[in-house]
Amino acid sequence: MEEIKEKLRRIGSRLKPMLEKDSGYEFNWHEEEKPILLVSLTRVFNNYDLPTMFQSMELLKYYNIQEIDWTKDLFDKDLYSLNRSVYIDNVEVRENSIAIIISREFYWGFMSLKYYGCELLDPGIILRSRENRMKAAKFIPGIIKDIEMFLKLLYKTLEKYNIDSSEIIWGRNLKTDLEKFRVYLEFSTEGMNEDEIVENTIRRVRALSEYRRKFRAWLASYERREAYDKTRRRRPKHSIFENSFYLCALPPNVELPYIPYDLARLCEVEVFLNPEEMRSYEDRIKREMLEEIYFYEVKNKQVIENEPVIHKTLCPFYNLDGYALKFKGIIKLNEKKEKIIKADGEIIVDKSEVLKPFSLKEIEFLREDFPELFGQ
């Protein structure tokens, strides 16, 4: 046991100065008993030295009152620094593996609201499928372009360094995800001596750092800004919050102050192979719908109780084909008629209501990513 711990510490001790020399940043050392030992090397940086978009802050609130400054909020000075490099964030040394981590870039949900008036439910899962991304491209094209660039740059860089893409670990719980552009790479060190472990780690660190430089350059590019600006949806006349990108249509008799909502919610239930996951996601959609039914029907005393009817939501729900999703079922309120205490029903697709997509001409910048969408 102690021999293994000493080996992991030796590997960490060799990696730390190499990472610091490569990046120009200091790396902190941290140990955890997991279950034997985990040596974590974490890059030290000042959050406020980062461009605004990459800082640990509530972007939704910050950009609700101002526009994005594309020349400042996304420009990483490390791209052109002689002393520091755009680099990975963590290296974790374990008994039989090493993980290399880019903790995050930013959560793009606020841009989906700001530019397209759309919120996606669990986008990290539903957009992992290329088919679903192609569908969503007609409603949130700038977001999808970012995701395609993220994937393309990541996998091309891995290929350049002869690293198997299976080492990218997807999933929740701080693994690779599409919502924050987090990257988690893990490779096995079984059968390697210490020199081989260090060499293989540094090669992967440099690969992910190169990917990150390319992706941050994309995020600050004029091409990206143009894609968003050309497809930005105009605020509808019924938006009562002039400086807000939460877009809403107030139903009758709702008193102010009122919490504003986004214009539409995109979701897709037919994405899970695991039946348990599928049921869980459908349950979440139902919960979200009932909350919207509460704001539209209950607050306005328009609920039809104990009858299987299609209920109205304040904010519409759509699947990735653009068809409306609605809750059809029986709702029961408490005695004071102010709270939903029971709801039995199902989610139905209403093809009579459609979310207007962007035209192919408007999303021409996605032709290379989805040629079949353009009939090629």
Q: What are 70-117's pLDDT values in tens digits?
A: 888 998 888 888 889 999 999 999 999 999 999 989 889 889 988 898
* DSSP, res 335: T
Residues 96, 36 contacting (CB under 8 angstroms): no
Length of the chain (residues): 376
Q: Which residues contact 205 (CB under 8 A, 6 or more apart)?
A: 19, 22, 87, 88, 91, 100
In the structure, what pLDDT confidence band is assigned to residue 242 with cuts at 50, 70 and 90? very low
On the 0-12 / 13-18 / 19+ scale of CB atoms within 10 A, 218 is: middle
Q: What per-residue confidence (pLDDT) applies to 270? A: 66
Q: What per-residue confidence (pLDDT) applies to 23? A: 96
Q: What per-residue confidence (pLDDT) applies to 181? A: 94
Q: What are 50-74's pLDDT values in tens digits?
A: 888 888 778 877 887 788 888 889 9
Q: Is the dihedral of CA 194, 200, 204, 206 positive or negative?
A: positive
Q: Is 264 helix (H, G, I), strand (E, B) or coil?
A: strand
Closest by CA to 315, choosing from 113, 115, 26, is 113
* DSSP, res 362: T
pLDDT at 300 over 80: no
Largest CA distance in the chain: 72
Q: What percent of the chain has pLDDT over 70?
A: 90
Q: What per-residue confidence (pLDDT) applies to 1? A: 80
Q: What are 124-153's pLDDT values in tens digits?
A: 888 988 999 999 999 999 999 999 999 999
DSSP notation for 10-27: HHHHHHHHHHHHHHSS-E
Q: What per-residue confidence (pLDDT) applies to 248? A: 39
Nearest-5° angle of CA 357, CA 273, CA 100?
85
- CB atoms < 10 A from the CB of 74, how many? 22
User: Which residues partner with 120 through β-bridges?
Assistant: 266
In the structure, what pLDDT confidence band is assigned to residue 174 with cuts at 50, 70 and 90? confident
On the 0-12 / 13-18 / 19+ scale of CB atoms within 10 A, 132 is: buried
Q: Is the dihedral of CA 204, 210, 213, 219 positive or negative?
A: negative
Q: Which helix (H) or strand (E) holds 172?
A: none
Q: What per-residue confidence (pLDDT) applies to 273? A: 55
* DSSP, res 262: -
**Residue linked to tokens 């994005």:** 68
Residue 65: both structure tokens together: 């009152």
Query: How many whole angstroms separate alpha carbon 170 and alpha carbon 208?
Result: 15
User: Which residues partner with 126 through β-bridges?
Assistant: none
What is the residue-averaged pLDDT of the chain? Answer: 86
pLDDT at 228 over 60: yes
Model pTM? Answer: 0.88
Q: What per-residue confidence (pLDDT) applies to 89? A: 96
- Phi then psi for 300, rounded to 5 degrees? -100, 10
* DSSP, res 197: H
In the structure, what pLDDT confidence band is assigned to residue 42 with cuts at 50, 70 and 90? very high
In the structure, what pLDDT confidence band is assigned to residue 161 with cuts at 50, 70 and 90? very high
